[in-house]
A and B are shown apart, each in its own frame.
Chain A
Amino acid sequence: MEAQLRDPNTVMKLSKLGSFHQSKFSFLRSFLKEFKDWDFKRDLFDLDENGFGKAIYSFKKNRRTYSLVSFTNKITDTERSDRVIATKWDAAFALHDGIPSQKDIERLSENVPKQEAGRVTCKELSLARANKSVRIFDHVVDSLSQGKQPDKQLLSKVGYLYRTTAVYGSGKCGLADRFRIKDRKEICGPFRLEMMLVYLVRQFTFDQINHIAKLKNPNKAIKLDNDIARNLGIGNSTGLGLAPFIVNHPILLNNWIYCREKALKEIRSIEKIEAKDFNIFLDCLNRSKINIDSWLTESDYQKNKIKSLRSDLKKFNQYLENNCSVKIQHLWNKIYTWVESNLSNEGIEYIVSMIMEPYDNITDPLINKMSAQEEKYFTIPAHRKLKEVKKIIENNYKSLIKIDYEDKKNITNFWFLSKNKAEPRIANRYQEYGSELEQPLAIGRDVKQLYHRILEANQNDTVAEFLLYNDDLRHIVRRVFIVEQFPYSEIQDNIIGASLVPIDLLRLKLSFFGANKFDPKSDKWLRINMYQGAPLPHELKFSNDTWIYNSLV
């Protein structure tokens, strides 16, 4: 028996994508796996008694070095904002390619704290800023300086000392373009450099807090306990900026989803399951439940999702106890089939992530295929016939072309870039001005328009002939040829309709990052936690990839 890939028309629905959880394919897990045998070093730590100053951390292997250069500054409480429009932050970071010279450090010190208003060079690979969780930060400093460990209950409510508010890469603000570094084997997975930056920032936050506590009370202060530190991650505030990224990078999106789907298909096709593999699955599943219990949010939307996940896992547990044994052939397929028929999307996708845990041999080769060479597919094969385009649309945009885009509720929203910092936003086209400057993200509406025009044209015409008179649809013609080759490249939902929940788009991307504890603050932005439970740098060499299920209380 060979299982089939799941249908893109089902998988690519937003309700499904918005229920994805971290998995072995998550970028922060694959980053740590790749870099676990690199040498970690703190090269410079020059902070004053308030923790302000600069620090440098590096990962080194053979002749390659990546260095995090950190700058921390004093800001007032009123200046601290997680919005992209902020201009000051508690800390700013750059990931430098190699070992920075004194001249580099001076250059970076003048530019990195300014973020977008400054300028870095192609010697830098990623750029980020972060703000303190002031309440937690002050509590930890006070406790440590008094010779006490901080209150674990209080820490678990937030889960981090700092949260990043933007992490940039690939050509932004002068950073190296992807083409300069794309052949480096160690960073072939998506966002690997950004993941490295965030991981090093996490260690900086621990060192900084220990340093401040020590200088505050040199005789009494103690260091943050490693077990407590390990359970702290780095927070992240994420707004709508992530959403257009997913739509604008269809091949990348396809590769992320396809690799996950391919792994699921291969696992479901396994005839005889080894007992040790089944035990890994059970172990991860049991340990992961602590994460759900410590998942706090004030969002009703998320609370309902967590509730449904809890109820799903309860049902699943009963099913597991009564119906599953490794003696059953194609057990994974049996489990998946049951899950699909009996659980909600939250539960289904949770179990999908879990059944991948025992299978490094299946997931590892796929992880290396998650990047994309998008430029290879940019040119439109304009010699092809319209009848072929029509068929591709009918096969790949089934539900999107059924939507009535004349109906106001289906075109309520438009996506645009704000003049201030080119921030992506969404607005009601009937209430706000600017819809004439709409970004080309209304894929469903535009595909339907293309479909109608093709129906009216001569089906034997070439695309080249069609585009001569229809260049307003050129962007969508390009996508149609992409989806033909990359079936998971399109979100199968209308992302300009009134019922859109933008955070579903964000959650999709963040689940691939490996984020935990999604905490929506509105339907347009959320907070998450990264690296909670991750080994500390000195523990990396002996760490296990299932660290994500370490006690996340």
Chain B
Amino acid sequence: MKTLNEIDTTAKRASKAAGFSWGIAEEIGKSIESLELFGLPGVTNLNLYLKKIKKNHPEKLNKIEKENRLKNKELCPIYCGVTFLDKCRQLETLQSIKYYNVSYPLLILPFISKVSELLGKKILIEYNKSSFLLNFNKFIFSKNLDNQVDSLAKEMRIEFLENKDFFSEENWKELYKLSEETFVEESESSKTKGAGAGFIDNE
């Protein structure tokens, strides 16, 4: 089994060799390490993507808007991810962002996952038939990830989810009621002697 240290170092060096700057290569090393830690096929996707771009380095989007595409070209998941991370505080206000024709879309995930941690918001990513719920960079919940490798996402939607409860009020009330069974019934005496401050406190 390869160690995370080896995955980070090798991904970084390979990315530099494929034409990325050292700073971006460092980001890639950490991102692939994170994908593998989440149990997602980071090394496989990176290897295929780097082979694809080694002789034809991808262009960058210099601005991220609500909808993003490069005319007749595929978007680089690394550049999209890094820029998304750098500009996440501005992008949060857009609530939902779309990218068209993203190469090896899985590679964007760790950057957005980091954004989820930085902003303290869950983020949903959907492309092809797969969807991913990113939870504060603690874990990634994936649905319909049939292919280990998707070489292209024709349309990718990234949505910032508002912080809200993912359960019903009724469920909460029932659970709370059960938790009350750990409380002790109060007596007149415990009310006056067992607590800190008095009933009236005007100081």
Contacts and interface: CB of A to CB of B under 8 A. Distances in A.
**Do the two shown chains form a genuine complex with each other?**
yes
Interface of A: 121-122, 170-172, 174-179, 375, 378-380, 382-383, 440, 463-464, 467-469, 471-478
Contact of A177 (B4, B62, B83): B4
Contacts of A473: 21, 23
Contacts of B172: none
Given A375-B30, A463-B86, A467-B86, A176 B3 contact: yes
B105 to A, nearest CB: 21
Size class of B's contact patch? 20 to 34
B67 interface: no
A440 B29 CA distance: 15
Contacts of B5: 170-172, 177-178
Interface string B1-37: 1111110000000000000011110110010000000
Contact of B1 (A121, A382, A475): A121
Contacts of B48: none
B86 A382 contact: yes
A440 B30 CA distance: 17
Nearest to A176: B3
A472 B21 contact: yes
B80 to A, nearest CB: 12
Interface string B114-127: 10001000000000
A527 B87 CA distance: 49
Given A179-B4, A473-B23, 15 more contacts: A171-B5, A174-B1, A174-B6, A175-B3, A177-B4, A379-B114, A382-B85, A467-B86, A468-B83, A471-B21, A472-B23, A473-B21, A474-B23, A474-B26, A478-B26
Nearest to A178: B5
Contacts of A383: 89
A464 B3 contact: no
Contacts of B30: 375, 378
A468 B62 CA distance: 6
18 contacts: A172-B3, A174-B1, A175-B3, A178-B5, A378-B26, A379-B114, A380-B86, A382-B85, A382-B87, A383-B89, A468-B60, A468-B62, A472-B22, A474-B23, A475-B22, A475-B26, A478-B23, A478-B26
B4 A477 contact: no
B21 A464 contact: no
A258 B60 CA distance: 40
Contacts of A474: 21-24, 26-27
A85 B58 CA distance: 38
Interface of chain A: mostly helix, strand, loop or mixed = helix
Contacts of A174: 1-3, 6
A172 B7 CA distance: 11
Contacts of B118: 379
A464 B86 contact: yes
Nearest to A417: B13
Given A122-B1, A472-B23, A464 B6 contact: no
Interface of B: 1-6, 21-24, 26-27, 30, 60, 62, 82-83, 85-87, 89-90, 114, 118
A172 B3 CA distance: 8
Contacts of B86: 380, 382, 463-464, 467-468
A471 B23 contact: yes
Q: Give the top 4 A-B pairs by smallest Cβ distance, nearest first.
A: A474-B23, A171-B5, A382-B86, A171-B3
Contacts of A477: 23
Contacts of A171: 3-6
Nearest to B87: A464
B89 to A, nearest CB: 5
Given A174-B3, A175-B3, A475 B85 contact: no
Given A171-B6, A379-B114, A440 B1 contact: no
B22 A440 contact: yes
Contact of B21 (A175, A379, A382, A475): A475
A250 to B, nearest CB: 13
A380 B118 CA distance: 11
Contacts of B82: 471
A421 to B, nearest CB: 14
A29 B23 CA distance: 37
A468 B22 CA distance: 15
A453 to B, nearest CB: 14
A413 to B, nearest CB: 18
Contact of A471 (B1, B2, B24, B89): B24
B85 A177 contact: no
B87 A122 contact: no
Contacts of A440: 22
Which has the most chain A C-beta neighbours within 10 Å: B21, B23, B83? B23
A380 B27 CA distance: 10
Nearest to B63: A468
A121 B1 CA distance: 7
B37 to A, nearest CB: 9
A469 to B, nearest CB: 8
Contacts of B22: 440, 472, 474-475
B17 to A, nearest CB: 9
Contacts of A375: 30
Contacts of A378: 26, 30
Contacts of B89: 383
A379 B30 CA distance: 10
A467 B21 CA distance: 11
Contacts of A175: 3
A471 B89 CA distance: 19
Contacts of B26: 378, 474-475, 478
A416 to B, nearest CB: 12
Contacts of A177: 3-5
A375 B23 CA distance: 15
A207 to B, nearest CB: 32
Contacts of B1: 121-122, 174
A479 to B, nearest CB: 10
Contacts of A178: 5
A122 B3 contact: yes
Contacts of A172: 3, 5-6
Contact of A379 (B3, B83, B85): B85
A475 to B, nearest CB: 4
A171 B85 CA distance: 27
Nearest to B17: A437
Given A179-B4, A379-B118, A476 B83 contact: no
Nearest to A440: B22
Which has the most chain A C-beta neighbours within 10 Å: B3, B27, B85, B90? B3
A176 B6 CA distance: 11
A471 B24 CA distance: 7
Contacts of A463: 86
